[in-house]
Amino acid sequence: MEKKYLLMHILDVHTAAPFKDLFTIKPSVLADITDSMKKKGYDEAFPLILWAGHGGVLVDGHTRLQAAKDAGVLDVAVVMHDFADELEALEYAIACQSHRRNLTNGEMLACLAALDERKKVGRPEKTTSNEVISGRTSKKTAELLGTSPTKVEKLRTINSHATPEIRESLTKGDISVNRAYNETMRHRRAGENHIREVAPEDAKKERLKALEESIIKMVSIRIEREIREYPEIRYGEQERRELIARCVSGITAAMENLPLEAAENTTR
């Protein structure tokens, strides 16, 4: 069935994270599409895909959008698509790209990070071993990315534990996934050995500091994403205070899972 498209002014097409940050726009591909648009105009056979229920944000077609801007094309063909949630829209965007071409390692890492972040929300309780659940998730994700489950698991380890330098080198294509994974594991083992070698009290201080920094970092990333995706929304001081209070309550409840020392356990 032929797609029903609309013509939309290029300035009315809205881009936002995570979709605009997943894939790199290759200069050679952009140049070819731009040249074609200058000669023939926008080809309606390749419309931009917008999320109808999310403010019309662009899900697929960022290279075509940039080419239209560079070619001076004012009206572009768009198709409004309904998605159940951001995860479904994200999977659609990734599937579109992986079906057209082979994703780079850096793109796979970005896609995996975005997918895993959204899959944490509403994740059901585990009813079997972590290994089995991980394997099933990796297989489905590998099919989406067009790669192997083993590579997905290595990318997950890199995303969760690699240093910024390792992730940057992988994204730039300076090192392979195997090398990035091996270096990440080497750093992790070195850190574990360091913890075993230092005095227990010093190790505890280091872990508490690491927990504090990681929690603050996660909150900062989430706030930055909120600002990027909803720049038009403003919050009152009372709303901010209430949000802070709820977050503190939630974090306090989560902290109850930290293991207590034996002496403290006996006095509770």
Query: pLDDT per residue over 30-87, tens digit each?
Result: 999 999 999 999 999 999 999 997 888 999 999 999 999 999 999 999 999 999 999 9
User: For the chain, what percent of residues have pLDDT higher than 90?
Assistant: 57
Query: pLDDT per residue over 118-134, tens digit each?
Result: 876 544 444 333 433 44
3-state secondary structure of 49: strand
Instruction: Provide the pLDDT for residue 191.
Output: 62
Instruction: Provide the pLDDT for residue 197.
Output: 55
Question: What angle, rounded to 10 degrees, do the helices at 149-161 and 164-172 form?
Answer: 140
Q: What is the dihedral of CA 50, 51, 57, 59, to 10 degrees?
A: -60
pLDDT band for position 195 (cuts 50, 70, 90): low
